[in-house]
Amino acid sequence: MKMRKGWRWFWGIAAALLVYHFDAITGQWKFNRLCETEAGARYFEPVEGGVGWEVQANHDLGTDYVPALNLGAGFVRFTDKKGVRSDVRMTTPRFVRGGPKYSFSPVDEALPVRYRYVYFGEEIDGDKRFKRYVTQLVDLKNDRIAASHTAIVYAWTASSRVLLNAPTSQRCGSGEESNKFFAQIRNQGVTK
């Protein structure tokens, strides 16, 4: 009789843990599916090097032009949060000691802008545990995406719910894969 009672406790605790963590289990399945279907790099057409890119300020740091210049834009037509437009160029290489330097000049409308650099993050399907971070390079000649990169982040619960506030988030489509994407754009080796 004691053995049966012990097994009931075991299965009862196991069932309670399953119910308690069911959202984490289904979240992991969703995360795996999103990683397989959305995360990573997509190339739709070759990217021309050394041409102008258009960038809109997205945050208050005012340095949204930096990623585009690091990716190989000849110059960036930048519009800051106040609506002021400038042409920005990198005047020293990225890897020079002390970091790169940038020069700002009034917009030269004679210089065409070929691409629009877009970066945004969003919640997926209204679920606060999931975030999608997207980088897009839009060809302004045909208003189509030339290349894109998507990273997915999933935090199955708040760190405060876990022993020692251990991190609970996972990522896919970032790290080495995003570095490879940016290197390919920078080197203009992008093909369909």
Q: Read off the pLDDT band of 139 (50, 70, 90).
A: very high
Q: What is the pLDDT of residue 1?
A: 45
- Quick: pLDDT tens for 78-134: 988 888 899 999 888 767 777 788 899 999 999 999 999 998 999 998 888 899 999
Looking at the chain, which runs of residues are DSSP E strands?
40-43, 52-56, 75-79, 85-90, 102-105, 113-124, 127-139, 144-155, 169-172
Q: What is the pLDDT of residue 188?
A: 58
Check whether 163 has a pLDDT greater than 60.
no
In angstroms, the first-to-last Cα distance of the chain is 69
Q: What is the pLDDT of residue 53?
A: 93
Q: Read off the pLDDT band of 145 (50, 70, 90).
A: very high
Segment 79-87 long-range contacts (CB within 8 Å, at least 24 positions apart): 79/54, 79/55, 81/57, 87/52, 87/111
Check whether 141 has a pLDDT greater than 90.
yes
pTM of the model: 0.75
Mean predicted confidence (pLDDT) in 25-54:
88
Check whether 6 has a pLDDT greater than 90.
no
Place of tokens 């437009």: 85
44 close to 144: Cβ distance less than 8 angstroms: yes
- Across the chain, mean pLDDT equals 81
- Quick: pLDDT tens for 64-89: 888 888 878 889 999 888 888 999 99
